[in-house]
Amino acid sequence: MFELNDDWDLEPKSRVCLLEDYAGSEVRWCPGCGDHAVLSAVQRLARDKQLAPEKTVVVSGIGCSSRFPHYMSTYGFHGLHGRALPVACGIRSRRPDLDIFVVTGDGDCCAIGTAHWIHAIRYNMDLTILLLDNNIYGLTKNQTSPTTPFGWRSQTHPRGSFFASLNPIAVTLGIQNASFVAQTIDWCPPHLYATIRAAHEHKGASFVRIFQRCPHFTEDVFAQAREDPGRVLLMTHAQGIPLDAAVLKMFPNRAGHDPSNLAEARELACREDVCTIGLFYRNPGGSRYDEVTAQGLGKTPGEKLAAIEMALDGFMV
């Protein structure tokens, strides 16, 4: 009979995930693409929050940005065009224990996926939604997207886009039960990271629009804001995106904005003279549909069968 050694550690050792533990396959975005910055921010967040890779899911649709799940060493679902959000809502409804990120583009979300976008915001399930907006269809090589600026020339509109661009922030702020709406830029990593982190920590549907550079097709769209920090308006508030003093100094143009003020958020979202970044709106008290869908998850197979039979009895004539 063996005696127990007092030196043995019977408790499992704590696990520490490093940055490389979240790196997936070789990244194949173009050099200079803003998607690289977003990927780095999400991987850093996962490391800093110690998100278990096997408990983290990245869901995407179709587009350059939607290759995101391949570049994260977590679970992922590379879905159909515009259908990332209903897939993510389905996952959340049955797996309240997971950390779920949705990565979509301006075409994927704001065109073919519009209906899903609207209802996902209204359902307010606990998802971190990242809209990587480069103002163009990049993967299919330069077609006008819903956010393409008026007059911008593309393969589908060689004489220039006919319509004023869609404003995803203004649209989202107009959806009932929106609970977290923010905007950031890929060329300022500290603000990008802080915004995504705040979105992840919010309980509900967090919608973050990221101005994302495309070096091939829309390299000039954000040029003025990149080259002149005065063209960027940073929203600040104690309940907004937390930033240190060094980051604040990067933006001389600042405005105090209470993210509980929906009317003011809508006004700021519609400004066209500046690129407004920060937290537009936050409502932690919004109804969450995932709290409804989670009911019954702990039932035994027998209890579930009995519930189904009781529901079917209601259709008896």
Per-residue pLDDT tens digits for 19-67: 999 999 999 999 999 999 999 999 999 999 999 999 999 999 999 999 9
Lowest mean pLDDT among 53-57, 157-161, 195-199, 204-208: 157-161
User: Residue 3 phi/psi, 5° resolution?
Assistant: -90, 145
Check pLDDT > 80 for residue 178.
yes
Check pLDDT > 50 for residue 2.
no
Check pLDDT > 60 for residue 1.
no
List, for residues 132-172, the tens digit of each pLDDT value: 999 999 999 989 999 999 988 988 899 989 999 999 999 99
Q: Are 77 and 35 in contact (CB under 8 A)?
A: no
What's the one-letter identity of residue 66?
A: S
pLDDT class of 179 with cuts at 50, 70, 90: very high
Domain 19-313 CATH (choose: 3.40.640.10, 3.20.20.80, 3.30.1370.60, 3.40.50.970):
3.40.50.970
Q: Are 287 and 124 in contact (CB under 8 A)?
A: yes
pLDDT class of 8 with cuts at 50, 70, 90: low
Strand arrangement, sheet containing 99-105: 75-78, 56-60, 99-105, 127-133, 205-211, 180-185, 275-282, 232-236, 254-256
- CA-to-CA distance for 279 and 258, rounded, in angstroms? 9
Check pLDDT > 70 for residue 12.
no
Give mean pLDDT, residues 193-220: 96
Q: Are 251 and 232 in contact (CB under 8 A)?
A: yes
Write the CA distances from 51 to 17, 124, 134, integer angstroms: 8, 22, 28
Lowest mean pLDDT among 3-12, 186-195, 246-255, 294-303: 3-12
Check pLDDT > 60 for residue 6.
no
Check pLDDT > 70 for residue 201.
yes
List the chain domain ranges.
19-313
User: Residue 201 phi/psi, 5° resolution?
Assistant: -80, -15
The structure's pTM equals 0.92
Average pLDDT, the chain: 94
Give mean pLDDT, residues 61-80: 96
Percent of the chain with pLDDT over 70: 96
List, as own/partner pairs, every contact residues 148-154 make where C-beta atoms lie below 8 angstroms and the sequence separation is at least 24, other chains included. 148/218, 149/221, 152/218, 152/221, 154/217
Question: What is the pLDDT at residue 46?
Answer: 98
